[in-house]
Structure 1
Amino acid sequence: MSTPSAHIAVIGSTNIDFVMHVTRFARPGETMHVLSSATGLGGKGANQAMAVARLGRAVALAGWTGRDMLATMARTTLEDAGVDTRWLLEDAATGTGRAFITINHAGENQILVDGGANMAHTHTSCPRILPALTGAGLVMMQMEMDPDLMLAVARHARAHAIPVMLDPAPVPAHGLPDALWALADILTPNEHETAALTGVMPVDETTALAAARILHGRGVGTAIIKLGHRGVVYSAPGAQGFVPPFRVHAIDTVAAGDCFNAGLATALVGGATPGQAVRLAAACGALATTRAGAAQAAPTMPEVKALLAQQPEA
């Protein structure tokens, strides 16, 4: 998958996050004060695009915002990071997506999302964002947009020999569209998403590989199962293995999965093997947990390389 000069295309959501830090999550009917709050860029698409840009890879983000102050904030933040936003389109009829995030003292989070413009477009809008894929070495997608739109993008990518990395989060209530499985060259669920998709809760390498076999049976090329603090298991054509977790002090896990995916995509497009790519991705995800916020938590490549050097492979 080595395409050194190619950019990564991200088709996905753009939100503004309203983040609140609390000692504990509120009980039903309870009103409580927060310790602190902040506002920043979020949405899985924007998070992943920002994280790719921070790692030094050219990246284009395609999707929709509203035509409002939140859209201006999002676009400015993305462009300042170097993200190509030519195909981040405005929808005057709907508002920019918003997420309301509560984080407790252990770094765990609860998230409520108002998709806004992210969810206002189906496959009929696909041609408007497809130019972002021209010349791409890989396309990253998530499920914070209409599933039929994601399916249409994946079909276009397959027709043009562009590898598809699918983050199946959040898992749709009725699961992934049947046709999408075989179009996913790389699928990157966490343990809870894996359980929702396969019926197998992965808690270690053995159970994760059992879930991966189910995913392969549905047509998925490479399954990369994130086990949180337990590490990562990967199963690719001709290669499978386990990458242990990096030792860091986690304070906020909101963007860990998105930064992991960005590291994975960047490494694969740069020609890394699956094992090398997963290890770099795991370092990206670990570093993201040491910082507050979503998109702004993404590490740079020098920071990732420093962590890799500090905690070398056993």
Structure 2
Amino acid sequence: MTVKAGVLVAGSCNVDLVVRGRTLPRPGETVLGQAFFEAFGGKGANQAVAARRAGARVELVACLGTDAYGARYAAALRREGVGLRGIRQVRAVPTGVALIVVDGAGRNQIAVAPGANHHLRPRDLVRVRPLFARARVLLVQLEVPLATVQAALRLARQAGVITILDPAPAPARPLPRRLLRLVDLVTPNEHEAELLTGIAVRDLRGARAAGARLCEQGCGAAIITLGARGALHCWRHGARHVPPVRVRTIDSTAAGDAFNGALAAGLAAGRSLEESLHEAACAGALATTRLGAQPSLPHLDAIQRLARRRSLRPPRPRR
């Protein structure tokens, strides 16, 4: 019998071109930046690296271009220890690129040219079906075609794999119920939760209502991330608040990716959902204390050190 362990990620790879300045530009406005740098990003690869640094064995299913960025990206993933059996390079198509502006408060604006990411197809997942049989957790996002996301969730469900959907970037319309029924945990932020449910998320009450709606639509549970207010773990008839982790924020670019990667790594290691959520909250907070996407993703020792120092104890469920 195959022993299930590790995290399988199906998603995007982008090269981030980042400008840091004092303020974010308004429409039609040009602002002067204080610094520029390149980093590897994309929600799929970010979450794969986050899970790997959080201690999990990780395989990534993604598409890169055959350009110089694609070659450099594959080498960087290899150095991180991320498995590349699911990587396909697409001829005559550029690797995905994200243009990111970060202000002095750590807020950001992002525009993405998907490139090779839009060439990830369901057949790419079928080609690596044995990876599903060996994984304990699947992590997917919405930077690749929706049909590919649904195919990944279906293959994972057939293989008895825990499924996590990070519904980012925010969808333009509610996701189909047939997809949500394949999701064990959905992890939207406030904006994404509002778009998915039509319920305004302005406080914990709104977050709880949106989480309950997502469960009614078919998800096993919802974890709504609330930035400085922590997160709310919701199920059909209850909710539990995950307290915020206070840090000095420099750049929030990959906080959600760090959260999701650490959550998947904790579950893949057999830790409880409560413990995994608290480690995920610490990982997300730590990621905001450094510039860049993948450069900011924390390692397991830093995550667990912060969790121990805070002595996080989950409150009783709210009913």
SS in 2 for 1:233: strand
| Aligned match of 2:171 | 172
Supply the distance in 1 between the matched residues of 2:171 and 2:121 (Cα, whole angstroms): 15
Cα distance change of structure 1 residues 249 and 9 upon mapping to structure 2, 3 Å threshold:
same
| Aligned match of 1:277 | 276
Supply the distance in 2 between the matched residues of 1:275 and 1:56 (Cα, whole angstroms): 17
How far the C-alpha of 1:103 sits from its partner, in A, is: 0.3
| Aligned match of 2:109 | 110
Could you tell me the percent identity over the aligned residues? Answer: 38
Instruction: State whether structure 2 residue 123 is matched by structure 1 residue 134.
Output: no
Supply the distance in 1 between the matched residues of 2:308 and 2:265 (Cα, whole angstroms): 18
Supply the distance in 2 between the matched residues of 1:179 and 1:93 (Cα, whole angstroms): 34
| Aligned match of 1:84 | 83
Could you tell me which amino acid in structure 1 is paired with residue 262 of structure 2? G
| Aligned match of 1:225 | 224
Moved more, 276-285 or 122-131: 122-131
Aligned ranges for residues 198-213 of structure 1 at < 5 Å? 198-213=197-212
Could you tell me which amino acid in structure 2 is paired with residue 19 of structure 1? V
| Aligned match of 1:296 | 295
How far the C-alpha of 1:148 sits from its partner, in A, is: 0.7
Please give the per-residue CA displacement for 1:94-139, whole angstroms capped at 9, x wherever unaligned: 1100000000011000000000010124434442343432300011
| Aligned match of 1:69 | 68
Supply the distance in 2 between the matched residues of 1:255 and 1:148 (Cα, whole angstroms): 25
* TM-score normalised by structure 1 residue count: 0.94
Supply the distance in 1 between the matched residues of 2:124 and 2:264 (Cα, whole angstroms): 25
Could you tell me which amino acid in structure 2 is paired with residue 188 of structure 1? T
| Aligned match of 1:37 | 36
How far the C-alpha of 1:87 sits from its partner, in A, is: 1.1
Gap runs ≥5 in structure 2 = 314-319
Could you tell me which amino acid in structure 2 is paired with residue 222 of structure 1? A
Cα RMSD of the aligned pairs, angstroms, is 1.8
SS in 2 for 1:134: helix
Aligned pairs, number: 312
Instruction: State whether structure 2 residue 239 is matched by structure 1 residue 240.
Output: yes
Gap runs ≥5 in structure 1 = none
Supply the distance in 1 between the matched residues of 2:171 and 2:92 (Cα, whole angstroms): 24
Please give the per-residue CA displacement for 1:48-89, whole angstroms capped at 9, x wherever unaligned: 011111112100001101101101111111111110012111
| Aligned match of 1:19 | 18
The answer to whether the Cα contact below 8 Å between 2:67 and 2:95 also exists between their aligned partners in 1 is yes
Moved more, 120-129 or 278-287: 120-129
How far the C-alpha of 1:276 sits from its partner, in A, is: 1.6
How far the C-alpha of 1:238 sits from its partner, in A, is: 8.2
| Aligned match of 1:161 | 160
Please give the per-residue CA displacement for 1:254-275, whole angstroms capped at 9, x wherever unaligned: 0000000011111112222222
* TM-score normalised by structure 2 residue count: 0.93
Could you tell me which amino acid in structure 2 is paired with residue 277 of structure 1? S
SS in 2 for 1:170: coil
Instruction: State whether structure 2 residue 186 is matched by structure 1 residue 187.
Output: yes
The answer to whether the Cα contact below 8 Å between 2:24 and 2:31 also exists between their aligned partners in 1 is no
Moved more, 156-165 or 187-196: 156-165
